[in-house]
Amino acid sequence: MIERKKEMGRDRVSRLVSWGHWFAFFNGFLAMIVGVRYIETVGAPESWIGWGYLAISTLGHFSFLAFIVYLVVLFPITLLLPYSKILRGLAAFAATLGLCILLYDTLIYDDYGLHLSPFVFDIAWADLNALLQGTSYIVTPLGIIILELTAANYLWKRIEKIRKSNYGPKVVLVIGLCFVSSHLIHIWADAADITEITRLDDAYPLSYPATARSFMESHGIEKSSKAQDPSKLQPSLNYPISPLQCSADPEINILMVAIDGFRADLVDKETMPFLYEYGKHNHEFKQHLSGGNMHNSGMFSLLYGLQGSYIAASDLSYRSPVFTQELAKQGYTLARFAPETSNIEPQAIYQDMTSHIQPLTNGVADADIQSIDSFNEWRMQQDKPWFALLNLQSPDSYDTPIGFLGIETVKPSTPLKPAQKVLFNQYRQSLNFIDKQLQKLIERLPASTFVMVTGVSGKVFTGDNDNQRGNLSPANVHVPLIIHWPGMEYDKTVTYPSSHYGVVPTLMTQLLDCTNKPSDYSAGRNILQPQSENWTYIGDNLVFGIYQEDEITVIDRHGKYRIYNRDYSQRLRNKKISAPELIQVMREGRRFYNH
Radius of gyration of the chain (CA): 30
State yes or no: pLDDT of 417 exceeds 70. Answer: yes
Domains of the chain, earliest start first = 2-218 (no CATH), 254-530 (3.40.720.10)
Q: From 259, 284, 262, 264, select the one nearest 338 (Cα to Cα).
A: 259
List, for residues 468-522, the tens digit of each pLDDT value.
677 899 999 999 999 999 877 667 899 999 999 999 999 999 999 999 999 999 9
Burial 82-98 (b: 16+ CB within 10 A, else e): bebeebbebbbebbbbb
DSSP 308: G
**For position 111, what pLDDT does the model report?**
74
Q: What is the mean pLDDT of residues 106-132?
A: 72
**Longest Cα pair distance anywhere in the chain, in angstroms?**
108
How far apart, in whole angstroms, are the C-alpha atoms of residue 156 and residue 363? 78
What is the pLDDT averaged over residues 16-35? Answer: 90
- Residue 219's pLDDT is 45
Handedness of CA 295, 300, 305, 307 (dihedral sign): negative
CA dist list (Å): 453 to 170, 254, 358: 69, 11, 20
Average pLDDT over residues 215-230: 48
> For residues 186 and 395, which has the higher predicted lDDT (pLDDT)?
395
Question: Which of 24-38, 72-86, 146-160, 511-525 has the least mean pLDDT?
Answer: 72-86
Quick one: pLDDT at residue 159?
Answer: 84
The number of residues making up the chain comes to: 595
pLDDT: which is higher, 359 or 463:
359
CB-based contact 522:323 (threshold 8 Å): no
Give the pLDDT score at 332. Answer: 95
In this structure, are residues 584 and 130 in contact, taking their beta carbons and an 8 Å threshold? no
Per-residue confidence at 464, pLDDT binned at 50, 70, 90? Answer: low
DSSP string of 554-584, one letter each residue: EEETTS-EEEEETTSSSB-TTPPP-HHHHHH
Nearest partner of 300 among 246, 228, 232, 239, judged by Cα: 239
Give the pLDDT score at 209. Answer: 87
What pLDDT is attached to residue 106?
A: 87
Per-residue model confidence (pLDDT) at position 492: 86
Share of the chain above pLDDT 70, in %: 89
CA distances from 542 to 555, 557, 594 (A): 9, 5, 21
Beta bridge partners of 552: 547, 564
The pair phi, psi for residue 556, each rounded to 5°, is -100, 180
**Complete DSSP assignment for 310-373:** GTT-GGGGT---HHHHHHHHTT-EEEEEEE---S-SSTTTTTTSEEEEE--TT-HHHHHHHHHH
d(CA 208, CA 305) in angstroms, rounded, equals 32
Q: What is the pLDDT of residue 194?
A: 80
With bands split at pLDDT 50, 70 and 90, how would you rate the model's confidence at 126? low
Phi, psi of 307 (to 5 degrees): -60, 140
Q: Given pLDDT bands bounded at 50, 70 and 90, which one contains residue 14?
A: confident
Q: Give the dihedral sign, CA 547/548/554/556.
A: negative
**How large a percentage of the chain has pLDDT more than 90?**
49
Confidence of residue 552 (pLDDT cuts 50, 70, 90): very high
pLDDT at residue number 391: 98
- Which has the minimum average pLDDT: 129-133, 323-327, 355-359, 443-447? 129-133
Distances, alpha carbon 198 to alpha carbons 162, 186, 210, 262, in Å:
38, 7, 11, 38
Per-residue exposure over 495-534, b if at least 16 CB sit within 10 Å of its own CB, e if not: eebbbbbbbbbbbbbbbbebebebbbbbbbbbbbeebebe
Q: How would residue 538 be classed by pLDDT, with cut points 50, 70 and 90?
A: very high
Question: Which is more confidently placed, 168 or 333?
Answer: 333
Tell whether the model's pLDDT for residue 392 goes beyond 80: yes
What's the confidence (pLDDT) of residue 226?
45
Task: Work out whether strand 561-565 and strand 551-556 pair parallel, antiparallel, or are unpaired.
Answer: antiparallel
| pLDDT mean over 18-43 | 88
Distances (CA, A) of 251 to 75, 212, 247, 333, 524: 76, 54, 12, 12, 25
pLDDT at site 127: 64
Residue-wise pLDDT for 244-289, tens only, equals 999 877 789 999 999 999 999 999 999 999 999 999 999 999 999 9
Compute how many other C-beta atoms are within 10 angstroms of the C-beta atom of residue 339: 22
Please give the Cα distance from 453 to 441 (Å, whole number).
Answer: 12
The amino acid at residue 293 is N
pLDDT in tens, 334-384: 999 999 987 888 999 999 999 999 999 999 999 999 999 999 999 999 999
The amino acid present at 204, given as its one-letter code, is Y
Instruction: Report the distance separating Cα 75 and Cα 67, nearest Å.
Output: 10
SS3 416: coil
Which tens digits make up the pLDDT trace of 288-340? 999 999 999 999 999 999 999 899 887 898 999 999 999 999 999 999 999 99
Residue 313, pLDDT score: 85
Predicted local confidence at residue 490, as pLDDT: 66
Number of CB atoms found within 10 A of residue 104's CB: 17
Contact 360, 367 (CB under 8 A): yes
DSSP lists the bridge partners of residue 334 as: 387
155-169, 221-235, 359-373: segment of lowest average pLDDT: 221-235
Task: Give just the sign of the alpha carbon dihedral 392, 398, 401, 407.
Answer: positive
| Mean per-residue pLDDT of the chain | 86
Q: State the burial class of residue 49 (Cβ atoms within 10 Å of its Cβ: 0-12, 13-18, 19+).
A: middle
Q: Which residue has the higher pLDDT, 338 or 91?
A: 338
What does the pLDDT average to over 91-95?
91
pLDDT band at 232 (very low <50, low <70, confident <90, very high): very low
